[in-house]
Amino acid sequence: MGDNAIAVRSLIGGRWADPGSEHVDAIPDPATGETIATLSYSSENDVHDAVLAARQAFPAWADTPVPDRAQVMFRLKQLLERNLEELALLVTRENGKTLAESRGEVRRGIEVVELACGAPTLLMGTSLDQIAEGIDEELVRFPVGVVAGVTPFNFPSMVPLWMIPLALVCGNTFVHKPSQRTPLSATRIAELLVEAGLPDGVLNVVHGARESVDALLAHPEVDAVSFVGSEAVARSVYAAGAATGKRVQALGGAKNHLLVMDDADLERSVTALISSAFGNAGQRCLAGSVAVGVGSVADALVEELVGQAERLRLGPGVEPETDMGPVIREERRKELIAHIERGQQAGARLVADGRGAGPAEGFFLGPTVFDRVTPDMALWREELFGPVLSVVRARDIDEAIRVLNSSPYGNAASIFTTSGASAREFKRRAEAGMLGVNIGVAAPMAFFPFVGWKSSFFGDLHATGVDGVRFYTRPKVITSRWTLPARLDHSKPEGRGH
């Protein structure tokens, strides 16, 4: 164990404490395998106490004037800016991604806080005067209540910040259950929110894995659940939450296709493809994991991909010259290697083999590229969530769009082309919610929703943007009749008497 390994705490009703179950995980730095922290899981009682603390804090927080709630977000924004380097380093240490990627992640999280600062405008309702004689109608937004947030390991800072600022500024209280593999950033963000002046109990943090999530889902005092993670878990969280009448948004996995047309600027397109497929070591729900070479471009595409992939430098994310860090755990690395072996057995051509690359101590797997992958192979079908890119060859744009649309997932897709007509065809027909044109990672900014389709999303209202505000609020429509008692008399001439 590293000398500086810290014990991660939970936050319940404003009190930092050691979680109460017997289960303890060692949290390794994926670049070295060295233990950097220990995580005790929360007990069922801890989860219960956290939900009750959130319930108790709810009435006063919901009644706190909206501009005052927004002020907490302004202070949080300042604190996040001030501590950006420290937060980025924390992401790199617990997740393994490069410092540049971690800085980008924290920045994207801050953008949601900036959105939340606009709460007085975002939360405005609508009204219509005189919908009938003497009657007006207005729509007013109220918070939902206690929200549970469950987040994944791959964006330990950004995904919690997709949820917490918007949920809180809308007047909800929150119980966060971060990934048991990356609990450090979430705990630090909670500390900063306390420093920003958040009252006790408004944000609570519990730890653990499935049992803690099950306890949150079963709890009658939890009104809404925001979940981000893998497809199978998103699907079951959605079903379990909805079955007990909770409002749920559950963001799942992905298999994002990147179409390269034969009129594209090949070198620049491949640079974007490489960053999409191998950025964050491929552990990104917006990662391009299938490159579709359309028409005559395929041979040149594969050659350029292999050339650029082999130039990526693997290493610890803290070193400035590193292009790609490790994957999250040794078991994940082994699973990915098993996928690579199965891909070879299925007949795909392994043209860049990342096995054995990178420093021996960490959980490294180099960029791996398969050519001649077909839709009957697991390589095409399944989300592998690592630095493995599959190349599919398609005759024309129709076949390419057919392949992409036959994926069960629908998170993101991109086209690389110099033809406006091809781009338009793609924009209209691709069945995915986040599309890129000559962009490899089509991530919406905070003021737009994060729109997965098909098995990449379960629910109705997406995270961030106006969708996020609508998810975390319940509208009331109020119809009022107010007429002056003497109204009819006003039409009569005054002072004459009858």
Residues labelled as active-site residues = 285
- What is the smallest separation between the CB atom of 33 and ligand NAD, expressed in angstroms? 19
Q: How many residues does the chain have?
A: 498
With binding defined as CB under 6 A, does residue 179 bind ligand NAD? yes
- Site residue total, ligand NAD (CB under 6 A): 29
Q: Which of 7, 45, 195, 210 touches ligand NAD by CB under 6 A?
A: 210
Task: Determine the 3-state secondary structure of 188 from DSSP.
Answer: helix
CA distance 68 to 213: 31
- What is the smallest separation between the CB atom of 92 and ligand NAD, expressed in angstroms? 17
Residue numbers 232-251 binding ligand NAD by CB under 6 A: 233, 237, 251
Structure tokens at 191: 């500390």
C-alpha closest to that of 427 among 397, 464, 467, 382 = 397
Q: Which secondary-structure segment (H or E) carries 336?
A: helix 330-345
Segment contacting ligand NAD by CB under 6 A, of 5-13, 86-94, 112-120, 205-213: 205-213
CA distance 204 to 365: 36
Closer by beta carbon to ligand NAD, 372 or else 381:
381
Closest residue to ligand NAD, based on beta-carbon distance: 229
**Given CA atoms 190, 194, 198, 201 in this order, what sign does their dihedral have?**
positive
Residue numbers 393-432 binding ligand NAD by CB under 6 A: 411
With binding defined as CB under 6 A, does residue 253 bind ligand NAD? yes
With binding defined as CB under 6 A, does residue 450 bind ligand NAD? yes
- What is the smallest separation between the CB atom of 177 and ligand NAD, expressed in angstroms? 6
Cβ neighbours around 187 below 10 Å, total = 22
C-alpha closest to that of 463 among 94, 70, 183, 108 = 108
Contact 168, 196 (CB under 8 A): no
With binding defined as CB under 6 A, does residue 180 bind ligand NAD? yes
CA distance 290 to 219: 40
Q: Which of 95, 98, 102, 151 touches ligand NAD by CB under 6 A?
A: 151
Cβ neighbours around 140 below 10 Å, total = 15
Tokens 């962009």 appear where?
439
Burial of 420 (0-12, 13-18, 19+ CB in 10 A): exposed
Q: Which of 228, 277, 348, 404 touches ligand NAD by CB under 6 A?
A: 228
C-alpha closest to that of 442 among 396, 411, 401, 479 = 411
Segment contacting ligand NAD by CB under 6 A, of 28-36, 135-143, 153-161, 400-408: 153-161
CA distance 447 to 130: 33
Closer by beta carbon to ligand NAD, 332 or else 393:
332
Q: Which of 104, 160, 241, 252 touches ligand NAD by CB under 6 A?
A: 252
Closer by beta carbon to ligand NAD, 98 or else 180:
180
Segment contacting ligand NAD by CB under 6 A, of 76-84, 89-97, 176-184, 185-193: 176-184
Beta pairing class for 409-410 and 434-437: unpaired
Q: How many Cα atoms occupy the beta-carbon half-sphere of 362 within 13 Å?
A: 25
With binding defined as CB under 6 A, does residue 230 bind ligand NAD? yes
CA distance 205 to 19: 10
CA distance 293 to 406: 17
Segment contacting ligand NAD by CB under 6 A, of 16-24, 435-443, 448-456, 478-486: 448-456
With binding defined as CB under 6 A, does residue 30 bind ligand NAD? no
- What is the smallest separation between the CB atom of 151 and ligand NAD, expressed in angstroms? 6
- What is the smallest separation between the CB atom of 388 and ligand NAD, expressed in angstroms? 14
With binding defined as CB under 6 A, does residue 21 bind ligand NAD? no
Q: Which of 155, 174, 363, 426 touches ligand NAD by CB under 6 A?
A: 155
Residue 204, φ and ψ in degrees, nearest 5: -125, 150
Closer by beta carbon to ligand NAD, 98 or else 417:
98
Rounded alpha-carbon distances, angstroms, from residue 322 to 80, 170, 345: 25, 40, 32
Segment contacting ligand NAD by CB under 6 A, of 150-158, 346-354, 414-422, 428-436: 150-158
Q: Which of 154, 157, 269, 455 touches ligand NAD by CB under 6 A?
A: 154
Segment contacting ligand NAD by CB under 6 A, of 45-53, 60-68, 148-156, 337-345: 148-156
Structure tokens at 311: 């130039």
Q: Which of 113, 213, 297, 309 touches ligand NAD by CB under 6 A?
A: 213
Task: Determine the 3-state secondary structure of 477 from DSSP.
Answer: strand
- What is the smallest separation between the CB atom of 447 and ligand NAD, expressed in angstroms? 17
Beta pairing class for 6-8 and 35-40: parallel
Q: Which residues bind ligand NAD (CB under 6 A)?
A: 150-155, 159, 177, 179-180, 209-210, 213, 228-230, 233, 237, 251-254, 285, 383, 385, 411, 450, 452, 456
